[in-house]
Amino acid sequence: MSASPDTVAREVARRRTFAIISHPDAGKSTMTEALALHARMISEAGAIHGKAGRKSTVSDWMEMEKARGISVSSTALQFNYTISDPDTGDTEVAVINLVDTPGHADFSEDTYRVLTAVDAAVMLIDAAKGLEPQTLKLFQVCRHRGVPVITVVNKWDRPGRTPLELIDEISERIGLTPTPLYFPVGIAGDFRGVLDRRTGEYIRFTRTAGGATIAPEELLSADAAATREGDEWAAAVEESDLLSEMGQDHDEELFLAGETSPMIFASAALNFGVRQLLEALVELAPPPAGREGVDHHDREVTDPFSAVVFKVQAGMDSSHRDRLAYMRIVSGEFERGMVVTHAQTGKPFATKYAQAVFGRDRSTVDTAYPGDVVGLVNAMALAPGDTLYTDEAIEFPPIPSFAPEHFAVLRAESAGKYKQFRKAMDQLDSEGVVQVLRNEIRGDASPVLAAVGPMQFEVVTARMKSEFGVETSIQNLPYSLARRTDADSAADLGRQRGVEVFTRSDGVMLALVSDKWRLQYIEKEHPTLTLEPLVATA
Ligand code: GDP
């Protein structure tokens, strides 16, 4: 029997599902570990100042997995976080889902798709580097989807920029107004603690050897802080007041509307600011919400089960059977074994082998609620954006395809394999591994692949070989951006230097352009031609 709407509503209210958006090296892994470590210690010890140590992150992960059955997997991490009300002593257990945004070499369309499965994002930036390219791209996807963003300035224990420089950079470059919840006391490289801007009190952190344990916190009044930190405290108060005068205090409505961003200064390596981040997530980030289906049919969180597939992962060298689809639950209760309907085909899908994705052993999951991520094995028919449901039918809008930046021609080495080649191409296209573009000049035998990250081309050639027995070769094309166009503009665009027009398999016409200067030139010289940005990521 499935859970009552009341049970589902309660589970939804305590859930927060988010992703960290950052540039490689900003400290995402370190912060992820710090968050989970922090949450675990609190939930076990029931106190903020845990004693257990963090000797090495790797072995600690294994310990943590054994003890709690959690780990950072490639896709999602779930943990509990207990908050106690200092006035009443009541405790509340929040359930946090952290969905991973693959970066580095595995940066791909999946990285963006993950952001369709979360309700909030934490934008993690390096105190010395500020906004970096990958962070900007991911931020644009959040903005486009209306995902509210909490900003964390990491590595405050190392020399970096000043708080006001970082705040200005974010306001000016991306039009997002930071509203620090806490203001750092001590410049970057001399991180002493933070001024809680909402209470005026001072939270003083104490370093532990090598950041091995959760940093003890001491709460001091403003007067005590002034005595203790002198000029450093005075500077923090002054700058914080300046922000208040400019209206840069937290405003929940503006945050949820994506106009402002609560900001936290942290050191993931020292565990400074990690508790503050967890509390901001629980207090300020929105719980899972219902979604609108196509035909403007709404699904409320307490309605019968529904979910969206946001990522499909196939083993590069193994069989089809190892295909995992990750779904985010939108409504109702999920129970393993449930038979759900796949909206795109109308066919039933058995979930006997549903897996919690937060366990290296692929531990099975028995029940899950809106906001949770569940992996489904053997998910041959499922593609990113697909809907699963029980009871009343629902179909959610497809995930948009994101602006590709890498383009290459794919060819089968042997002409005799054309049929398999074509079949494989259709399969990889429908799974959303790459976008497939064609035009009459190049013909069907040499489609152009478009991807967000260059690694996707290697995935294609590897799977062509292992799953379909087709040897292929890849030749990169000298284009770096794509714009949506139409039949009226196609002929004129085709005559421009550095431009080639294609039709994508979903029928959308795309003009590939060599670089942004070329694009600017064409836009200026031929203002009537249609050249619309795809879902903007840059
Ligand atoms: P990712 O690529 O974003 O996952 O970054 P990592 O978590 O792997 O961190 C990159 C490097 O920065 C590692 O050497 C970390 O030890 C270091 N690092 C991460 N957070 C901090 C921090 O708060 N302070 C300092 N000093 N180093 C940090």
Q: Read off the pLDDT of residues 439-486 as tens digits, 9 standing for 90 and up.
A: 999 988 889 999 988 888 988 898 888 888 999 999 999 999 999 999
Tokens coding 173: 């470059």
> For residue 312, which of 22, 474, 117 has the smallest C-alpha distance?
117
State how far Cα 41 lies from the chain centre: 25
Distance 373 CA to ligand 1 centre (A): 26
How does pLDDT run across 410-431, given as a tens digit for each residue? 999 888 888 899 999 988 888 8
134, pLDDT greater than 60:
yes
Counts for the chain of helices (H) and strands (E), in that order: 14, 30
- 128 Cβ closer than 6 Å to some ligand 1 atom: no
Distance 167 CA to ligand 1 centre (A): 21
- 197 Cβ closer than 6 Å to some ligand 1 atom: no
Q: Which of 20, 25, 134 to mutate to test the pocket of ligand 1 (most atoms within 8 A of CB)?
A: 25
Tokens coding 229: 């930190």
- Paired strand residues for 46: none
How buried is 169 (Cβ within 10 angstroms: 0-12 exposed, 13-18 middle, 19+ buried)?
Answer: middle
26, pLDDT greater than 90:
yes
**CA-only gyration radius of the chain, Å:** 25
- β-strand 355-356 against 435-438: which pairing, if any? unpaired
Q: Average pLDDT for residues 138-143, to the nearest whole number?
A: 93
How does pLDDT run across 393-409, given as a tens digit for each residue? 999 998 888 889 999 99
Phi, psi of 451 (to 5 degrees): -145, 160
- 27 Cβ closer than 6 Å to some ligand 1 atom: yes
Distance 25 CA to ligand 1 centre (A): 6
Ligand 1 atom nearest the C-alpha of 26 is: 3
Confidence at residue 87, expressed as pLDDT on a 0 to 100 scale? 78
pLDDT band at 184 (very low <50, low <70, confident <90, very high): very high
Question: What's the pTM?
Answer: 0.87
Matching residue, tokens 């779904």: 327
pLDDT band at 212 (very low <50, low <70, confident <90, very high): low
Say if residue 320 carries a ligand binding annotation: no
- Paired strand residues for 364: 355
Tokens coding 308: 């969206």
Matching residue, tokens 């205090």: 249
Distance 26 CA to ligand 1 centre (A): 6
Q: Using H for helix, E for strand and C for coil, what is the string for 193-254?
A: EEEECCCCCEEEECCCHHHCCCCCEEEECHHHHHHHHCHHHHHHHHHHHHHHHCCCCCCHHH
- 157 Cβ closer than 6 Å to some ligand 1 atom: yes
In angstroms, rounded to a whole number, what is the distance separating the alpha carbons of residues 406 and 222? 54
